[in-house]
Every structure is written in structure tokens, then in C-alpha cells.
Structure 1
Amino acid sequence: MGLYQFFYEYFVVPIKENQGYNPVNTIVYAIILGIAVILLYKMLKRMDIRVEGRFFKALIPYIILGPLMRSMTDVGILPRTYLTVSPGGYFVIATFAIASLYVVWRHVGPGERLYPLYRDFGWILVGGLLFVLVINLDKVNFNWEVLKYFVPAIVIAEAVIWVLTKKVQLIGDNKTLFYTHFYDATTTFVGIQFLGYWEQHVLARWLIDTFGTAAVMYLEKFLILLPVVWILDRGMGDEDPDLINFVKLTIFILGFGPGTRNLLIMLMGG
């Protein structure tokens, strides 16, 4: 098998035929993500931008852009191309976010003015996508029945995390990450268990097939997240706090982005 054929089979065909992820592209995308996290962290350090509350709030609209664009693609408002579905769509959004940050930083520097300007530019991009959505509402077949399953499931799931935050300090210290990933697990559980959707990721798909229920997503999330935050908080205590915060920010995005995408796709009938 030649290099082009290998790339076409494992990276192009899964997107063209909506096959989901396979072991090969999953590993490659994970490596790319790891490299990107390191490079972005070094970039922020050079720009003298701290990974803290102000930066997180300014980043929120860019985090919303990805799932919004993907859901609009799945309902036919945006064309389905490598640049509008995952992971290509997230590369596009990341490029917008990084380029916007650099432009604003070059204009005002790393001071207080950076964060509101960066945030507002992001909201302008979100507003543009929402405008496209509004003028194409005839292509959307809203399915509010989703909430009949989602609301009780999310209440129970997050209640479990709330109880655990009171019992386990490590979970309490990282409650936002656990709440976010159980939100993601809930959207997957509801979509697969009740609405006929399917899982695109290799490990999650295997677990669901093996256990016969999408509820196993909660266990998967918990068993992956717990050792990761333990390593970050206990095993990397001597590392730069900005690095740890940036890794946690990445973990948050990996939960909030797919979860919101799933919920929007179900609500919009994608």
C-alpha cells in the first residue's frame, strides 16, 4: 500500500463516508493534539499571556464555534468537507482562535485590554454563524423530545459528581472537568441509547458494543479523567502552573466541545 493510498483509506474515506474514527487516525490525531498543546503553551509563554480566568472567559466564544459549525454541517446548512467536520473543523476553529489572539496581542499587547477585545472578536464570529443559521432555519427540524431524555439524565449524572466532590478532594478540586465530561457522556448516552445515533470514537464504540449500553460512557470518562487529574495535581506539582492549567483547559474543551456538538445535532435533527 502506497503512502497516498494509506492516507486516503485511513483519513479521507472515514470523512467522505462518515465512518467515524479508526485506530490509525485516532493515534495520529492524538499525537497532533499533544504537539499542538506544547506549541500553543510555548506561544502563550512568549506572548506573556497567563492561562487563568480572564483568558478562559475570553476563549469561550471560540470553544462554542466548533460544535456550532459541526451541528450546522450535519443538518445541511454548511457543506460537508474536511474543513467542516471533525477533526478538520476543529483545526479551522483553532486557526481562527490563534490568529485572532495574535492579531489582538500585536495591537494591544498582553495587558488588560487584550482579553475583552479577543473575547468580543470571538463573539462576532459566533454571531456570524448564528446569522447563517437563522436565515437557514427551514433546513432545521428541531427535535425537542431530546430534552425528555437529556434533562433527567444530566441531572442524575451531575448529581453523582456533586456528591463525589464532597467525598473526594481530587474530584472537588477538578469539579469543572468532571461536570463537563459527564455532560459529554450524557449527550452520548442519550443519543445512542434512545435516539438511534452511533459512536464515532474507537474505544468508546468498542466499550458500548462490549457492554451493550451507552451508559458505559460514564465509567469510561471517570476512569480516564481520574488518573489524568491525579497526575496533573499530584505528579506534576513542580511544573509551571500555566502548563497544568493549559492542559486542563484542553481537557475541558475536549469534553465541552463534543458534548455541545452532540446536543445541538440532536436538537436540530441532524
Structure 2
Amino acid sequence: MQLSDGVDSARAWLAAFVGGVAVLVAGAGAFPRQVYDGFLWRYFWGPVDADAHGASCAVRSGGTTERLYSQAACRGAEGIYAEPGYTAVSTVSYAVVLVFMLIGVLLLLRKLDVRMSKRFYFALFPFMLLGGALRVVEDVNATFVRENLGMLVPFPSVAVIISPFIYFTVFAFTLAALVGTISLARRGVVEDFEPVLGGVGAAALVATVGYLLYVSATSAVVGFYPAVAVITLGLASLIAAVYWWASERYAPYINEGTGEMGILVVWGHSVDGVANVLSLDWTDALGIPVSYGSKHVVNRATVRYTGEFYEAIGQGWLADAIGTAWPFLLIKVAAAVAVVWVFDRQIFEESPRYAYLLLIAILAVGLGPGTRDFLRATLGI
């Protein structure tokens, strides 16, 4: 792929990346209060700092950072302050960076002439689970901070697994594994890179989950409720199996483009749906001493409208009997099936790289949060 003036697109992307970083570093050095304190710290590092320390906000003044633990103290603070979470500026900035990085991935895949195939898709599956598991490590770390037990992962190292930096962490790890395994395959060390790539992701996932189980076994503030994992993974697998059997028998055209990849899409979004239902409606029945709330916009709306529907038909008792989150699972499954249907054979034939990357992103959107939700509930944090 070349630009109109003959400049290699990959080199142009790399030059833009290096140039952008250089401008930010130079600006922060020349104008620390305006560029670093007023922009980089306020919108990006400050919120992560406050989140990592379990603070209501972090305040930067005179080149030093102070964490405050009440909203009243934050409102009365002097200096530049940042609260955990996203702002309009950071959200737009991360969206721009995400698009820029996706362009870079496409250029890299072209440069490396990577074969886009079902094997490649399945090889990336463990990395999607890994992202959710790493988020739970940060959740455990936050639990330790709340209980005044110090940090399980010290600051600033913990920042790499706090949203949104964790997305870049998983992206960089996946990219390094991809380039490394392709290099091994082309040097003849391994026959195909896909199984090795999947093995790297699986090893990292096992290590992360193993670490979480170790903390659970050795800490009084982290519990273990295996029924959550069993029900979530079991029910999601059952839904995916029923979907595959029914679609192949009665509507095989749905899977014409994705084939077996469609099973994974439905399974991943079913994990998210089931985990939400269990976390919102069934924690008491499962003996989990934690209450969870809806963060997903669609989830919140589903829970609210379901409760209002119960009241409208004079059956408010249903909220306690069967819960209000179960329609969210139906929505997730229906949306996943619709996506699989849309990805027909023509899409993969015309733009295979775009099609595979988009399908990977769609699976990650469901599986990442779902993995985090069911692991958090499994650990009771």
C-alpha cells in the first residue's frame, strides 16, 4: 500500500506516531504546567492515579500530587484536580488514538502479509479473555486499598492494568506475540504461527487466573464462589450449542460467512449476558456478599423497563422471583446472532482483513467485560 506521492504508508504511520509522541514530550518539557499538568495529567494520568489509590480525586499543585478521599475535600481543593473515570476530552482522545492504532494494525498485517483465517481468529481468543482477567487483578488491588491492606500491585505499575491503559497493554502484548510467532514461523522454528500465538495467550491467561486464585486462597478479603463460573460458562456454552444446532438445521445461511467463528461470537456475548444476570439478580442466592450495579447503558435501561413492566401489569413480585436483568441476556444473544448473519461470505471475500478485525473487535466487546464480570463475582469483590 502506497500513498499518492510514493511514500510507504507504514513508514508514514510510524513517522506520525513518533512525531506525535515527540511533540507531547517536548511540550511537556517546555511548558510543564500547561501541557503536562493542564492536559496530560488532568485528563489521562490524574484519573488513573486517583483510581489506583481509591481516592475521590487527585489534585496537582506546584508539581506535586495529593489524593483526596471525599467529594467535599475535592470541591474545596485548589489546583488542577482529576476524578476517576472518563471525561469528554479523554473519551474523544482515546477514540482518536484507537482509530489511529487500528490503522497501524491494518498496515502491519499487510506489511507482514499475515494470513487472515479462522485459525488466526481462534488464536486471538485467549487474549480477549486475558484482558478481562487483568481487569480483575486491578479490581482485587482496589479491594486491598479499600481494606487498608496496601496495594497488591504497587503504583505506578498498576496503571498498566487500569482502564483505559489496560487496552494498550493488552494490545501491545498481543502485537508482540503476533510479531514474535510470525518471526518464528518464517525462520522455520515452528510450522505455523497460529497455534503458538494461541498458546502464548493461553499461558498468559492461565498465569493471570492462577494468580487470582492464589490471592483468593491466601487473603481474607477475596472470596471464592465457583458456582458463578460454572453457571456462567455452562449456560453460555449451552446457548451457543443450541444456537449452532438450530441455525445449521433450520437456517444455515446465517453461518455462511463466519462458519464456526459464529459460535464463538454467540458464546462470548452470552458470557456477558449471563454474568450480568447473575451479578445483578442472583448474588444473594449464590451467597455472594457484594451488590453490583448496572454500568452498561443498555443494561440499565433493560433493568429499569423490565421493573416498570412488572409494575404496569400488577406483578411487581416478579422482580424478586426472577429478577429484572434476564432480558439483557436475550438482547445480547439476539444481537450476536444478527452480527453473525450480517457477516456473510461476500464481506470476507471483498475485505478479509477488515472483516476479521471487525469480528474480533465485536467478540472482544462482549467477552472482555463478561470475563471481568463473572470473575469478579466468582471472587466476591
Specify the alignment match of 2:175 in structure 1. Answer: 98
Aligned to 1:119: 198
Aligned residues of 1:191 and 1:197 also touching (Cα < 8 A): yes
Tell me the equivalent position of 1:65: 130
Are the aligned partners of 2:236 and 2:267 in contact in 1 as well (CA < 8 Å)? no
TM-score by length of 2: 0.57
3-state SS of 1:49 partner: coil
Give the fraction of aligned pairs with identical amino acids, expressed as a percent.
26
Deviates more, 1:21-30 or 1:113-122: 21-30
Judging changes above 3 Å, is the alpha-carbon distance between structure 1 residues 148 and 180 closer, same or farther for their aligned structure 2 residues?
Answer: closer
Q: What are the residue-to-residue correspondences of 1:32-71 with 2, within 5 Å?
A: 32-71=97-136
Shift of 1:250: 2.0
What displacement does 1:134 show? 5.2
Aligned 8 A contact 1:180 1:255 in 2: yes
Change (3 A) 1:105 1:228: same
Instruction: Tell me the distance in 1 between the aligned counterparts of 2:340 and 2:198.
Output: 28
**Structure 2: which amino acid aligns with 1:208?**
V
Question: Contact between 1:69 and 1:84, CA under 8 Å: does it hold in 2?
Answer: yes
Map of 1:136-215 to 2, 5 A cutoff? 136=215, 137-139=217-219, 140-146=222-228, 150=232, 154=236, 157-158=239-240, 161-162=243-244, 165=247, 166-169=249-252, 171-173=254-256, 174-195=262-283, 196-212=291-307, 213-215=324-326
Question: Per the alignment, in what secondary structure is the counterpart of residue 83 of structure 1?
Answer: helix
Deviation at 1:91, TM superposition (A): 2.0
Return closer, same or farther for 1:28/1:210 CA change in 2, 3 Å cut-off. Answer: farther
For residues 45 and 138 of structure 1, what CA distance do their matches in structure 2 show?
47
- Between the two proteins, the alignment pairs up a number of residues equal to 269
Letter in 2 for 1:105: I
Structure 2 unaligned blocks of 5 or more: 1-37, 57-82, 142-151, 257-261, 284-290, 308-323
Which one is further off, 91-100 or 226-235?
A: 226-235
Contact kept in structure 1, 2:302 and 2:327, CA below 8 Å: yes
CA deviation string 1:154-200 (max 9, x = no partner): 47754763565244445444343123212211111111122231222
The answer on 1:266 being equivalent to 2:342 is no
Instruction: Report deviation, 1:52.
Output: 1.6
Report the counterpart of residue 161 of structure 2 in structure 1.
Answer: 84
* TM-score between the two structures when normalised by the length of structure 1: 0.75
Question: 1:56 and 1:27, CA in 2 relative to 1: closer, same or farther beyond 3 A?
Answer: same
> Aligned with 2:161: secondary structure?
coil
The alignment status of 1:252 with 2:252, answered yes or no, reads no
Shift of 1:21: 6.8
Shifted more, 103-112 versus 57-66: the winner is: 103-112
Distance 2:334 2:306 in 1: 16
Question: Structure 2 CA distance, aligned partners of 1:141 and 1:155?
Answer: 25
Shift of 1:149: 6.0
The whole-number CA distance in structure 1 between the counterparts of 2:200 and 2:241 is: 35
Partner of 1:7: 43
> Match of 1:197, SS?
coil
Quick one: which amino acid aligns to residue 274 of structure 2?
T
Higher Rg of the two aligned structures: 2
Larger proportion of helix: 1
Structure with the bigger RCO (C-alpha within 8 Å, sep 6+) is: 1
The Cα of 1:221 is off from its aligned counterpart by 2.3
Offset of residue 153 of structure 1: 5.3
**SS of structure 1 residue aligned to 2:292:** coil
CA distance in 2, matches of 1:232, 1:164: 18
* Per-residue Cα deviation, 1:123-147 (whole angstroms, up to 9, x for no partner): 4433543553454331331023436
Among candidates 65, 70, 75, match of residue 140 of structure 2:
75
1:218 matched to 2:297: no
- Identify if the C-alpha distance between structure 1 residues 162 and 131 changes in structure 2 by more than 3 Å, giving closer, same or farther: closer
Task: State the shift of 1:51 in Å.
Answer: 2.2
Q: Distance in 2 between matches of 1:242 and 1:104?
A: 19
